[in-house]
Structure 1
């Protein structure tokens, strides 16, 4: 009995081991792939089946010819040919996305809508440019017996020279501010090209009046100046949009070259379509069978479509970094939420929500006038002249720069310190990061809100300085509590504070 018991004890582990090994072998056998699918980024795919004996490497010419004939027969099939055409079109015009659901990504990201609107506005520009060229040629005397080639050449030389000079001056003035307001500058470029084309079309009309005949050359020069401004602004902003789509579609900045190349291919096709349509349009309008009312109405319709398409295409671009307007909006949301709900959990708008309401025109923002003006990046000379600090207290203010990388104070414009002339001055150190800039702006807005809550009674200079000092202390205490909340809320909403860029006067203070 004892002997049988020992054999049973030895048999049980052996049986369990055999069962486990059988299950592992069965799992390995069942998990072996029967088909492998290879997908390319442009949508093409190839399948390999382990069950088919024909999936062998081609070793001789006869088998190669047989397979080539098979490919030829496949191309004759409508479905297969259509698939090859779709893949070719996709690889030429759309970016390569390393995902099986690339179509959904292109649609959900807004890229397809963006390129559709962008190509529509480009087509409108091509059509109107041909009409404008026709009008300019008529204005310089093409087709008139009294016109000379020399006068036409001089007109074009003066016009082009004005455009070159304008592009240089505009680059010197606005080059540093393009990225801060990239969407506004892009729409500025679209408005400028519309103004330029309109001036080119209107310019020949003054030749019919002897009193206005001398305005033809200034008008075409001004038109070329507008086009030059458009070229500078649009060229400066195009890289930012290509970088945005590269990050959103491909996930890295490495795809910017492909995005740029595909964008060029799209514009080439739309340019060809625009040339054909513009030629037909010019022939139709130049035949004399179309009234001036129809001609003007068609031009106004194309201009309106151009502006609307650009407007909606820019609304689809949700940049994740803060410029002056976005930062002011987020800070205002934060301060209002804290004052109304008094909670530590604040939700601010995300990039897509702000992209729909962000202004695209350089217009004065009346909402900000409720607070005192904020001057960022001022020189220390201006800081010392306008602030309430004495020469002795300025030394202690400079010590703050070591821990905050910026200094802040309330200043007054003019000799008399009155409430109506208050402003918040912020000076940066060379070590100030983009996140420090966002913190400094939050600090300045807190000071502005605290100043707005003070009494409106007129005071003398001594009382005004005392109130300003109290406000600065309260704002410093609030900043310690609110900046971590601001940082967390902005990060949760998808904002990248490390890329903050706001408008400032460009000064940095340092010791020597």
Structure 2
């Protein structure tokens, strides 16, 4: 192809962001940006910024919600940085910074404890020697923080994948509560240790929940097996935000020093901004994998309207706040004895059932026992039945007491799924959901059972 610039020898592009052409004219090859005469300085600066702070191949290498999420994540990180500055100032004041009686030993211990969840506990050490009481407090601060992290990870570790949005928001709310406690602690000297230790335990939980859910969201955002790149660029973005927060904090500290009313007022302002930004951030995430909440929303919509909601529609309706359940809880991947307690119960569980899982209702829970050969589609179907059973047994329907026994409802759920599941699954896939994997919270028990015919 020949143009005024010469013959086009080749074209090249860098993702969807840039396109270039090579021209041959007078035996010379020239490279020019497609659609412009030359590369402007502005484009060069923007390109360099993207290269430093955005994942390689952006936007094709990340999920569609990446930019919106990162914008709100940046806002919340900036406001959290300022809130943290105010909390740190208050805590340092509480441990005796500025007090002539404070010793080098106390300041050293305070500095060392900065890296641990329970910090700023050395105000009792402001004497010429580090007392036995101070050493005990240091040990307690360190130990309880570590124990809190271990216990929380043990109890809620699997939920951090399946309910990443809820626990992400929970972590930020808890972090704000902990910082507020640190700000108030100096004004309650008699309870200072108790307050900051409690705040430290909260922060230890924040560290587990925040880090784990961030990893879960990175898995969602990565579209080219580029989790490490996304995580690294997220770290660069956070560092830039913290640098901006540091500059603002340097101007803010002289203003708020010795002004507790202004300190608390600014903290509350930054906290409101932080929580709002976090809410918008988790609301902007559109996950295409099914967890219990999203599958429940999609299934109930299908049973009501005959239409499968898209990932965007379902994610907009998904609750992001931790809630006290009023529905009958669902347990997935349980032991056989949690579903049946006798050979007769096993026969009842197998009735109308030709699937590699068993359902039962025991102790106020819908329990699902999974066979080792169950596929991902079988898991989705089992969850659909469990959701339907849970809704039938939930308190709102108690005004109309069920006329069926639990086993009769289980048998009815099998018949219903035989009718609707195939078209429902087809609609789910057509709507853009990923059915090759799920975020359903299955435990690891797998059971092989003998059928009643044997």
Instruction: Give the structure-1-normalised TM-score.
Output: 0.72
- Please state how far the C-alpha of 1:496 moved relative to its aligned partner: 1.9
**Cα separation, partners in 2 of 1:373 and 1:274, compared to 1, 3 Å:** closer
Separation in 2, partners of 1:334, 1:139 = 57
Contact 1:42 1:91 in 2 (8 A): no
**Among candidates 401, 409, 413, match of residue 360 of structure 2:** 409
**Cα separation, partners in 2 of 1:160 and 1:455, compared to 1, 3 Å:** closer
Contact 2:159 2:441 in 1 (8 A): yes
Residue 175 of structure 2 corresponds to residue 201 of structure 1: no
Partner of residue 248, structure 2:
277
Number of aligned residue pairs: 414
Matches within 5 A, 1:166-177: 166-177=148-159
SS of residue matched to 1:327:
helix
**Cα separation, partners in 2 of 1:106 and 1:117, compared to 1, 3 Å:** farther
Matches within 5 A, 1:10-21: none
Contact 2:22 2:29 in 1 (8 A): yes
Cα deviation per residue 1:441-464 (whole Å; 9 max; x = unaligned)?
222344456779999579xxxxx8
Matches within 5 A, 1:496-507: 496-503=434-441, 507=445
Partner of residue 228, structure 2:
257
The structure with more radius of gyration: 1
Residue 328 of structure 2 corresponds to residue 376 of structure 1: no
- Please state how far the C-alpha of 1:276 moved relative to its aligned partner: 1.0
Contact 1:242 1:259 in 2 (8 A): yes
Partner of residue 330, structure 1:
298
- Please state how far the C-alpha of 1:204 moved relative to its aligned partner: 0.7
Contact 2:351 2:411 in 1 (8 A): no
Gaps of 5+ in 2: 32-37, 111-120, 123-137
RMSD, matched Cα = 3.5
**Among candidates 100, 111, 118, match of residue 145 of structure 1:** 100
**Cα separation, partners in 2 of 1:227 and 1:36, compared to 1, 3 Å:** same
Cα deviation per residue 1:159-203 (whole Å; 9 max; x = unaligned)?
343322211221122212211101111111111211111111111
**Cα separation, partners in 2 of 1:474 and 1:363, compared to 1, 3 Å:** closer
- Please state how far the C-alpha of 1:122 moved relative to its aligned partner: 0.6
Residue 373 of structure 2 corresponds to residue 431 of structure 1: yes
- Please state how far the C-alpha of 1:312 moved relative to its aligned partner: 0.6
SS of residue matched to 2:56:
coil
Cα deviation per residue 1:215-261 (whole Å; 9 max; x = unaligned)?
111111111111111111111112222222222xxxx2x22222122
Partner of residue 238, structure 1:
214
Separation in 1, partners of 2:391, 2:2 = 71
Residue 313 of structure 2 corresponds to residue 353 of structure 1: yes
Q: Which has the higher helix share?
A: 1
Separation in 2, partners of 1:144, 1:400 = 77
- Please state how far the C-alpha of 1:274 moved relative to its aligned partner: 0.9
Residue 23 of structure 2 corresponds to residue 55 of structure 1: no
- Please state how far the C-alpha of 1:297 moved relative to its aligned partner: 1.9
**Cα separation, partners in 2 of 1:398 and 1:55, compared to 1, 3 Å:** same
Separation in 2, partners of 1:456, 1:86 = 63
Residue 289 of structure 2 corresponds to residue 321 of structure 1: yes
Contact 2:63 2:222 in 1 (8 A): no
Separation in 1, partners of 2:28, 2:83 = 59
Separation in 2, partners of 1:180, 1:198 = 29
SS of residue matched to 1:508:
coil
Cα deviation per residue 1:398-437 (whole Å; 9 max; x = unaligned)?
6988x522112344x4xxxxxxxx6543212233333222
Separation in 2, partners of 1:457, 1:84 = 69
Contact 1:34 1:51 in 2 (8 A): no
SS of residue matched to 1:404:
coil
**Cα separation, partners in 2 of 1:497 and 1:49, compared to 1, 3 Å:** closer
Contact 2:339 2:358 in 1 (8 A): no
Cα deviation per residue 1:134-176 (whole Å; 9 max; x = unaligned)?
1111111111123344456372534343322211221122212
Separation in 2, partners of 1:469, 1:38 = 64
Cα deviation per residue 1:461-481 (whole Å; 9 max; x = unaligned)?
xxx8x8555444433222211
Separation in 2, partners of 1:496, 1:284 = 52
SS of residue matched to 1:499:
coil
Instruction: Give the structure-2-normalised TM-score.
Output: 0.80
Partner of residue 224, structure 1:
200
Separation in 2, partners of 1:447, 1:191 = 33
- Please state how far the C-alpha of 1:321 moved relative to its aligned partner: 1.1
Separation in 2, partners of 1:185, 1:84 = 39
**Cα separation, partners in 2 of 1:486 and 1:284, compared to 1, 3 Å:** same
**Cα separation, partners in 2 of 1:84 and 1:507, compared to 1, 3 Å:** same
